[in-house]
Structure 1
Amino acid sequence: MTELNNLWLTETIRLREEHAGPLEDLEANRLARNAGGDLPTRIQRRALWLAERDGLSDALKHWLQGARLALLVLAVLAVVSGAGLAFAALGDGQMPVNVFWALGSLLGLNLILLLSWALGLVFAGEHGASLGRLWLWLSEKLARDAKAAQLAPALILMLQRHKLNRWAIGILVNSLWLLAMLSALAILLTLLATRRYGFVWETTILSADTFITVTQALGALPSLLGFNVPTVEMIRASGDAALNIESARQAWATWLVGVLLVCGVVPRLLLAAFCLWRWKTGQASLHLDLNLPGYAQLRERLMPTSERLGISDAAPEQLHRVESGVSDQQSDGALLVAIELDDQRPWPPPLPKNVSNAGVLDSRESRHKLLEQLSRFPPARLAIACDPRRSPDRGSLALIAELARSASATRVWLLQAPPGEALDAERLGDWHVALQQLELPFADCAPLNWLETGHD
């Protein structure tokens, strides 16, 4: 994951919370605080954890795949368009080629749009956005991920804030036109190598001297690179009919190729390289704007002046699948912990020597202390004892999920009712459904053998 992608996902999370309200982020905030670092680093860690949990990281991968495919489609269109310009300029060789009509066909639209892009860059910085919007639209369609729709607005806002959008669009526009000009140049050389063309110029109101001046001016730079320029006699003679002289045809052909190279290919190449340089230098200075409302309000949660303990955030709309972030190599030992047991139930049960007792979590302080401990010393096996006589509220389920993510393997122990009492079948069913959504194994008997040996 590149730094640009990290900032992109962070901005996406900010926009999502700005429009849809705060996300359930208790565990994300705790992990960001434990990782340390300055506020921008913690904000990024929080956002990346939320993006991974909510599927935005996968959506970004799909969007990037769609973006590459969209770029390939545009590149193919550029190649085909460039080839079409060359065919339109020279024709089939049955008729003499009007050199200035051919030059206009090859360079006219390119130079007009080049000038328009340059003026827009100077005065507005947004010209060429239509092609950029087309690429973004194609990228989103080809990504085939509904969540990818949240990514494009975040990217645009982030680039606009740092004035990088003009250079990103510049790379896209100039690279595609460079591809079109190279395609036109390749087809032009192929046609000139395989067909015999005669070249003329025609006019009604201009004099021959005008065409001589224009031809020599356009051929000045190509001549420095070794391209031939027709002599004055050749230019004058070509005003009446196509010269059936090999040297004249070659001179006009190399002049046409040289002008296309110098006035069509080279400017787009230099501009694409310049935009790429500005993009690279600007990208290196990308950073979070901590003055934005979405980031400013995270300061107290991620760098608090006094620690806030316990689960106090709004309940999520749905339970998220629990996936342990701890490997077997990172974890060790076995641990039993209980959640909100009443005083009448004897606790803990007799435990094997290698199983530790974390006690009963019945306060914010105890929950916070255990989570901090597990973040530093994650157990290989964790058993969580719950009293199914209580309703499986979302706060308890969120705590179970957070504990489970801190261990390599987790099982939930649904305790039996005390003698003389019976469990409510409907409430027990709610526990089963909730734990199945979390994809956590559960049982109504003590998993002590599993805690001790790692198997039943």
Structure 2
Amino acid sequence: MTALTPLDELWLTEAVRLREQHAGPLEDNEANRRARAGAGDLLTRIKHRALSLAERDGMLTALHHWKQGARLSLIVLAAFAVVSGAGLAFAALGDGQTPVNVFWALGSLLGLNLILLISWAFGLIFAGGSAASLGRLWLWLSEKLARDAQAAQLAPALILLLQRKRLNRWVLGICVNGLWLLALLSALTLLLLLMATRRYGFVWETTILGSDTFVSLTQNLGTLPSLLGFGVPTEDMIRASGDSAQTIENARQAWAAWLVGVLVVYGILPRLLLTLLCCVRWRAGRQQLALDLSQPGFAELRERLMPSSERLGVNDAAPAQLHQVQTGASTLESEGALLVAVELDDQRPWPPELPNTVADAGILDSRESRKNLLDQLTRYPPARLAIACDPRRSPDRGSLALIAELARCAASTRIWLLPAPAGQALDADRLGDWHQALQQLELKWADSAPLTWLETGHD
């Protein structure tokens, strides 16, 4: 997966907050411990905690799926914009068998664009940049194409995060104006192609307006395009086009240049400038995004992530299923070897004789001992960790969760399934349950003491 951007981190943090707000607190002992070990201020620790929970619960994967869905939905909308732009050009010019009514053509090319542009501008000014229909369609398509149950909180989290700095208007503005720009460019391309391959005549028609009105309107609309080099029909050409389609090549070319110039100046350039404006405002505002610690869910984390005194004894419900072991320590930041035992009885002598390079972490038989060791391993992860377990006990969910949590603190882990004491035999079914559980956790196990591996890193 690609690296997370600062926006992704804030986005996931907000999504985790919304999930806990709606579904209740998550089991977060390990995430809190890692966040405390990472140091930093409260905002940094809240983000570290949220990213740990997001990775554990699949929300990080859902984020990548959502972004893939967003890109795919943009491709779909872009394709629709290209086809729609081509349709506008065809509607404006027709098949070339009949003269082109220049103002009907202009209305076909720019009418809907102008209405929606004014609507978007009024929404930006008076409604605080509420989502345009194209923007809402993009968000809806992104969520549908993600197809991930964990993505349910991502779209609301993104909207809430952006609304605090009123950046949603600029994101949707990029989408809306960019798609319209693409549609108009498609219309311009096909317009030029049709004019290059077909012979069009241009006329204007009216029942209640005089010819002076059309002369004035045509010349006024052509003023700005003429500054960019686009031609404008002369007054005689305009008046002559009111009677019949001009057959003079200069008149055809003048009308064609005028139509293209009006499309570029009053259609394409405004959309291009608005797209660039939205991009600039988005890039500037994105640097100011931050978490709002006054939001419900964040204030409660202060004591857990930056405690005034260490507390023991927070009982949380066990997760419904164990999560795969993904080591949180790299070989560059870990060192040493450690042996630890989980819930051994008094009948078994412990510890065994260990090489000088292998440390003994004792037996974890209480909640306090587990917490102390996990805190130590989070700060100083070992390169190799061996966890001794008594396979005469059932591999219950609590023991497996502890094993998985210990394994995530080391660069490499092996489970030592201890042999039965003299005169006793291991239950084959129970031993099979251990093997199956460790396979699900993707952990290696050994039936004999892995002391050589602990000391040297190989067998």
With structure 2 as the length reference, what TM-score do the two structures score?
A: 0.92
The one-letter amino acid paired with 2:71 is: R
1:290 offset after TM fit, Å?
0.8
Stretch of structure 1 that moved more, 109-118 or 137-146: 137-146
1:363 offset after TM fit, Å?
3.8
Query: Which residue of structure 1 aligns with residue 241 of structure 2?
Result: 238
Q: C-alpha deviations, 1:383-437, integer Å up to 9, x for none?
A: 1123445554444332221211122222222334545666666665554444333
Matches within 5 A, 1:73-152: 73-152=76-155
Query: Which residue of structure 1 aligns with residue 55 of structure 2?
Result: 52
Mind listing any 5+ residue stretches in structure 1 that lack a counterpart?
none
1:174 offset after TM fit, Å?
0.5
Query: Which residue of structure 2 aligns with residue 33 of structure 1?
Result: 36
Q: Percent identity?
A: 75
Distance (whole Å) between structure 2 residues aligned to residue 18 and residue 179 of structure 1: 40
Stretch of structure 1 that moved more, 23-32 or 409-418: 409-418
Query: Which residue of structure 1 aligns with residue 159 of structure 2?
Result: 156
Distance (whole Å) between structure 2 residues aligned to residue 453 and residue 259 of structure 1: 78
Superposition RMSD in Å: 2.2
1:225 offset after TM fit, Å?
1.4
Of 222, 228, 231, which residue of structure 2 is paired with 1:228?
A: 231
Query: Which residue of structure 2 aligns with residue 369 of structure 1?
Result: 372
The alignment partner of 1:293 has SS state of coil
1:307 offset after TM fit, Å?
1.4
Are 1:312 and 2:349 an aligned pair?
Answer: no
1:334 offset after TM fit, Å?
2.0
Of 267, 270, 285, which residue of structure 2 is paired with 1:267?
A: 270
The one-letter amino acid paired with 1:321 is: Q
Mind listing any 5+ residue stretches in structure 2 that lack a counterpart?
none
Distance (whole Å) between structure 1 residues aligned to residue 255 and residue 85 of structure 2: 21
Of 170, 181, 191, which residue of structure 1 is paired with 2:184?
A: 181
The alignment partner of 1:297 has SS state of helix
Distance (whole Å) between structure 2 residues aligned to residue 295 and residue 427 of structure 1: 44
With structure 1 as the length reference, what TM-score do the two structures score?
A: 0.93
Matches within 5 A, 1:202-213: 202-213=205-216
Distance (whole Å) between structure 1 residues aligned to residue 175 and residue 397 of structure 2: 48
The alignment partner of 2:340 has SS state of strand
Distance (whole Å) between structure 1 residues aligned to residue 130 and residue 383 of structure 2: 58
Are 1:217 and 2:238 an aligned pair?
Answer: no
Distance (whole Å) between structure 2 residues aligned to residue 282 and residue 6 of structure 1: 16
The alignment partner of 2:415 has SS state of strand
1:126 offset after TM fit, Å?
4.7
Of 324, 327, 333, which residue of structure 2 is paired with 1:330?
A: 333
The one-letter amino acid paired with 1:109 is: L
Matches within 5 A, 1:261-410: 261-309=264-312, 312-410=315-413
The alignment partner of 1:357 has SS state of strand
Distance (whole Å) between structure 1 residues aligned to residue 404 and residue 98 of structure 2: 79
Q: C-alpha deviations, 1:45-67, integer Å up to 9, x for none?
A: 11111211222222222221221
Residues 310 and 363 in structure 1, CA contact (< 8 A), matched pair in contact too = no
Distance (whole Å) between structure 2 residues aligned to residue 166 and residue 15 of structure 1: 22
Are 1:437 and 2:436 an aligned pair?
Answer: no
Residues 37 and 379 in structure 2, CA contact (< 8 A), matched pair in contact too = no
